[in-house]
């Protein structure tokens, strides 16, 4: 940028401190140059002084910037592309997050249903155990009753001398 020299640096071209009052500073290497040494006339120097957004580079840095600027433009385009892709991914993530929340709610509901079913199965299992126990008691009671009835029937069919009732009936 064009400005009055603030330090006593030497001009990077002529290596002199004096020679003119108009100096230019390279924004890349921070080197100072006499305006006349870099072939900037007084009129052009005045214009540079008035422009706030003017950037000036020495010849060496200008060549380097010629190579850097296209890369910066490519990087800027790439950043824009990546920003777009990131925005798209964020939207998709938001949708998926909503789906995940719904799935988590459904899973919670299914888990609650499964707990209720498990509790019912446990209750039915206990009830079945009670029923089986009662059947077992009934079975034992029936066996005893059957045994008693057999004993009664056997007692009624015997004669005092040991002959059986069916023999008695045949003899009649």
pLDDT by residue, tens only, the chain of 172 residues: 545 545 557 899 999 887 677 899 999 999 999 999 999 999 999 998 898 888 899 999 999 888 888 999 999 999 999 999 999 999 999 999 889 988 999 999 999 999 999 999 999 999 999 999 999 999 999 999 999 998 888 877 665 555 555 554 555 4
Residues 108 and 91: their CA atoms lie apart, in Å, by 26
The count of domains in the chain is 1
Residue-level pLDDT at 68? 87
- The helix or strand, by DSSP H or E, that contains position 34, with its residue range, turns out to be strand 32-34
Residue-level pLDDT at 65? 87
With tokens 């910037």, the residue in question is 65
Does 87 reside within a domain? no
Residue-level pLDDT at 156? 72
Residue-level pLDDT at 24? 92
Does 69 reside within a domain? no
- What the block records as the tokens of 102 is 């719904």
Residue-level pLDDT at 171? 52
Does 16 reside within a domain? yes
Does 108 reside within a domain? no
- What the block records as the tokens of 29 is 């290497």
Does 8 reside within a domain? yes
Does 101 reside within a domain? no
3-state class of 23 per DSSP? strand
Residue numbers of the domain that contains 6: 2-57
Does 94 reside within a domain? no
Residue-level pLDDT at 83? 96
The CATH number given to whatever domain includes residue 45 is 3.30.40.10
Residue-level pLDDT at 159? 53
Residues 45 and 3: their CA atoms lie apart, in Å, by 9
Residue-level pLDDT at 78? 96
């Amino acid at each position: 940028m064009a400005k009055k020299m603030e330090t006593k640096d030497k001009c990077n071209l002529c290596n002199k401190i004096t020679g003119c009052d108009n100096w230019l500073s390279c924004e890349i290497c921070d080197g100072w140059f006499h305006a006349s040494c870099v072939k900037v006339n007084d009129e052009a120097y005045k214009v540079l002084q008035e422009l706030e957004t003017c950037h000036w580079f020495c010849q060496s840095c200008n060549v380097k910037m010629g190579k850097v600027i296209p890369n910066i433009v490519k990087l800027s385009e790439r950043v824009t592309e990546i920003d777009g892709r990131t925005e798209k991914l964020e939207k998709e993530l938001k949708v998926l997050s909503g789906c995940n929340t719904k799935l988590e709610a459904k899973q919670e509901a299914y888990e609650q249903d499964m707990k209720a079913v498990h509790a019912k199965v446990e209750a039915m299992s206990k009830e079945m155990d009670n029923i089986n126990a009662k059947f077992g008691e009934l079975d034992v009671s029936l066996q005893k009753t059957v045994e008693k009835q057999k004993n009664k029937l056997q007692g009624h069919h015997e004669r005092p001398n040991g002959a059986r009732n069916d023999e008695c009936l045949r003899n009649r």
